[in-house]
A and B are shown apart, each in its own frame.
Chain A
Amino acid sequence: MLKKLSIAALVVFLGIWPMFTTNPYYVHTAVMIGIMVILAVGLNLLFGYTGQISLAHATFYAIGAYATSLLEVHAGLSFWVTTPIAIIFAVIVAIFIGIPTLKLKDHYLALATLALCLVTTLFLLNAKWLTNGAEGVMGIQAPTIFGYPLQGVALYYFVALFTLIIFIMIRNLVNSRVGIALETIRENEEAAESLGVNVLYYKVMVFAISGALAAFAGSIYAHLTLFVSPESFALPLSIEVLVIIVVGGLASMAGSVVGAVVITLLPEFLYEFEEYRLLVYGVILLLVVIFAPKGIVGLFSSFVGFVRGKLGGEKVSEPEEAAEREQV
């Protein structure tokens, strides 16, 4: 009940806060947070739930941004046509790349996806005939809906709505038969397979879903900034999304959101450290892995459990204690 009320309050807040500000920078940042949430939800499905690490998230983000931008600038197609095309393209790329690479495990998978990410950057820089190299693609138009341009607050509402839809769909997915199957793949592939789970199929499908989400986020990004260049889609972006889900909480839907908010807002408070961004991420990652392996969300729920225990209320850790008692 309390949970439902707080979710309703959050939705209302997200709906009305732009009416009380005139600062376009806040709106811009809010859209960036939405983009990061979409990226994080996709990567958390792949890494947090299914256990397949990927450093190639920036690649699919780039596919979304560049495919929509280039098709619009050169072929004059609208956002509403280019975005689905970009998503389908990302899915195809994910399937082709996923089938060989997802047979790899752990560091090998990390290395293969790292290579993909680096190759993407080189491609964007060097395939000048297509991507215009380091100068990037200009002349992207804000999408229009019923003749009204999707920019500023309008873009914010569009992104907020789709972020919510994506969040709900992925939440449904992880709380289902399929979600359990994905977690069994993370825990033990051999055992998952022995229970009838087609491990490679799910890995590739989840890779494709996370790729599709990243491509969608990329398309939104291109239409937020109206300019794309290779540096926005390089390795630091992949790492940033990874940091988001680790800091927020792996295999936690709320973790993706909390992490995206924290990591997107962090540079606003640390802007004098801008050049050291990756260093700061590294330190944060280290601290989280050592002191809060379940991320902020995990820290919060153990705090709640601790407070409840102190208040003498319902004992939340009872089963664990029962298990420990039996072990003795």
Chain B
Amino acid sequence: MELLVLKGVSKQFGGLRAVDGVSFDIKQGDIHAIIGPNGAGKTTLFNLITGVLPVTEGEITFEGNAIHHLRVHEIARLGILRTFQNLKTFNEMTVLQNVMAGRYTKTKTELGTAALGLPWGKREFAETRKKAEEVLEKVGLYHLRESLAKNLPYGRQRILEIARILMAEGKILLLDEPAAGLNHNETEELSVFLRKLIDGGLTILLVEHDMQMVMRLCDRITVINYGVKIADGTPEEVQRNKEVIEAYLGKGGTHDA
């Protein structure tokens, strides 16, 4: 079943067509990667899906409903959560608070309830806290829960961003280069962890440069170059694709692969 479908999506920045008529779909329960050389438009694609940028042309549907006209926070409420390539952790908040913040879409307490200190608001807050501690336990950050996020090492901050969106119990996670800055072991751990998430019913779309990880981990891969989709398929199919090899290695490099 297709969870997220892009149909002829384009994005024009002045004279530059950063994304040009890209169509592909992401199936429920897949780990799907978008790969491509630097500047190919991968992050722009993420920004279009999550509503950070308006699409110039085309249509994005999620569970059959068009979402490309919705605002960022409305898209998050549908269960589409993302991490950022340049980390956007909440630096001056504790690790625990960072993760608790991820529960926003699943909780209800509003201004009035909160200010009056009504019992259901407090109960919900306590539940969020408990849930956050569980998630931190799962990702191995529990012992750092009282540290400020800015004091964590880079790799841990990446994990923290993923932990944060796990709290939302969304339907699809968009991970922008989750393995960037991680060492080999950490990348390995991350792959295992992402697999587990898929078994738990999630769908993942990721942008990644670590080809080893992408080829081993992903069910499907979409390759884009200069904003245009050049290939789409399983890792084996993509690896054999001539255009892909050219994009990565240049023309005439085909015999190497």
Contact = CB atoms under 8 A, between A and B. Distances in A.
B109 A169 contact: no
A188 interface: yes
A169 B117 CA distance: 7
B76 A195 contact: yes
B151 A197 contact: no
B3 interface: no
Contacts of B168: 195-196
Contact of A178 (B82, B110, B152): B110
Given A194-B50, A197-B73, A322-B143, A179 B114 contact: yes
Interface string B144-178: 11111001110010000000110010000000000
Interface of A: 168-170, 172-173, 175-181, 183-184, 186-188, 190-199, 205, 209, 318-320, 322-324, 326-327
17 contacts: A169-B116, A177-B125, A178-B109, A178-B110, A180-B93, A180-B104, A183-B101, A184-B101, A192-B101, A193-B76, A194-B88, A195-B165, A196-B77, A196-B168, A198-B73, A205-B111, A320-B148
Interface of B: 50, 52, 71-73, 76-77, 81-82, 84, 88-93, 97, 100-105, 107-111, 113-117, 121-122, 124-125, 128, 143-148, 151-153, 156, 164-165, 168
Contacts of B101: 180-181, 183-184, 192, 195
Contact of A195 (B116, B146, B164): B164
B93 A195 contact: no
A169 B115 contact: yes
A196 B76 contact: yes
A209 B152 CA distance: 34
- Where chain A touches its partner, the secondary structure class is helix
A176 to B, nearest CB: 4
Given A176-B125, A326-B156, A319 B146 contact: yes
A172 B153 contact: no
B22 to A, nearest CB: 21
Nearest to A174: B114
B182 to A, nearest CB: 14
A179 to B, nearest CB: 7
Given A183-B90, A319-B143, 20 more contacts: A172-B114, A176-B114, A177-B108, A177-B124, A179-B114, A188-B89, A193-B73, A194-B50, A194-B52, A195-B104, A195-B105, A195-B165, A197-B104, A205-B111, A319-B145, A320-B148, A320-B151, A322-B143, A322-B144, A322-B147
